[in-house]
Structures are given as C-alpha cells and as structure tokens.
Amino acid sequence: MRFMKVAEEELEMDVDSDLDSDLDTDFDGDDDDSSNRGGILQSTSKRVRMIFSVMASPNRIDILRILNSKGPLTYSELKSLAGFKSKKESGKFAYHLRKLLRQSLVALNKSERRYTITNLGKLVLSLARQIEERSIIESGKMYVRTSHESIEEFNSHKIIQSLVREGSLPLELAQKITEEVENRIYKYQTTYLTGALIREMVNSVLLEHGHEEYRNKLARLGLPVFDVQEMISNLDNVDNGAEGLLFTLVRKYLLNIF
C-alpha cells in the first residue's frame, strides 16, 4: 500500500514536471509558427485546433465534467472518479490530465495539490455539450430533455437502471415494464420527450399492472425521492448545505405546480 502511494505521487509529479517543459516548448513553437506564417492569426488558429483535439477524447471530456461538478479534487480522487482504477491505467490517466493542463482547461493548486476546472475549461465543456445535443437533434433520432436541462438520445436501458436503482424492482420486471413503455413511446411517433413524461408513462404502466408499491417509490417531491435521499446523505456536497437543498426542493415544487 505504501509503495502504491509513493508511485502515485511520483506519477503526479511527472505530470507537473512534464507540464512545465511542455508549456515552454508550446510557447516556443507558437512563436516560431507565428513568425513563419504571419503572426497572431495563425497562432490563434493553432490554439483553437489544439483545444478541439482535446475535446475529441471522451476521457478528457469526462475529466472536465467531473471537475465541474465535484472539484477541486486531488490527483487520486480525480483518477478514481474518472474510472482509471487499475495500476495499468495510471499512465493513460496522466496523459489525458497533462493534455488538459497544457491547454489551460484544468489548473493545479500546487499548495493544496488539488485540480480544478478553469473558466476556459467550463466554456469548452459547455461547447461540447451544445455540439453533442445539436448532433442528436439533427440526426432525427428520438431525444430526451432531462431534469438536468440537458438533451440526451433516448436510451431504454436508463429506464431499466432507474427502476432497479430507485424503485427496487427486480431486473426481470424492470425489463418487462420498460419494454411496454418503449412500445408506447414509439407508437406515438414523437421525436421529442421529457424526463417527466417518461416517468409518468412508467408510473402509469406500473399502476396498470398492480405495482403500486413500486410506483410510490418513484414518486416525486419536485425531485425524485431517490435524488432527495441522496442529497440529504451528501449535504456536504450540496451548495449552501441544508439551506441549498431546501431552496432546490421549493424551486422544483413550484415549477411542477405552475
């Protein structure tokens, strides 16, 4: 255990030292490129291309999303949340983090040894989400506007996961209920859904099959009961603690009744 911790710290230090040398190289390269091609416009264009290349990796987008919602985080915390859990994946994670640091999308507070997303990183993350949402809409596929105010492609597996996780349904029953809900959705031949509409359809099918006890577990208090329980058990991660949670619940409740 002691050896693994030391190895992790050494790898983190490698990211920092590589970053310093790479930044020097990048700035030198930009100066040469600018003088050779005609100035600031080419340098800016190169910068934009490099940022787009960073966005091309789902792993790096995931790291930005994690830091945006849970940061600042230590190297180990970020690595674990990003799903790089094995020792073999440490180098891969360091590579992706180094890319984000180079383009100033992520910053390191060296005194606290914690990583945070920068304003530029937030802008890039927002742009990536807009591109993803627009591509879903333009594709003509059925999409869902979620309670988190984002757009996602319709995925019936998420209904199954929600029924099992929030409603405690047996997997086989969750699959059966989801299949019936999916058939009804496609029967309507719509391309646009909301999370609330899908939840209402699920509840309706549950009641029709006599599963009121499961339907009650999926009831909403402005937010799903499961989400409220999660927020209560993690008050430290909610903005302004209990007061912030109360504000969120009241806001969701008012949105539902007006």
- Note the pTM of the prediction, 2 decimals: 0.52
pLDDT band with cut points at 50, 70 and 90 for residue 142: confident
Query: Which domains are seen in the chain, by residue range?
Result: 2-125 (1.10.10.10), 140-257 (no CATH)
**pLDDT per residue as tens digits for the range 156-169:** 898 999 899 988 99
Work out the percent of the chain whose per-residue pLDDT is above 90: 32
CB 173 within 8 A of CB 124: no
- In the predicted model, is pLDDT for residue 170 greater than 50? yes
Do the beta carbons of residue 75 and residue 69 sit within 8 Å?
A: no
> Per-residue pLDDT averaged across 209-230, rounded?
75
Write down the pLDDT at residue 2. 47
Indicate the SS3 state at residue 199.
Answer: helix
Check residue 66 and give its pLDDT: 93
- 143-145 and 220-221: which strand pairing? unpaired
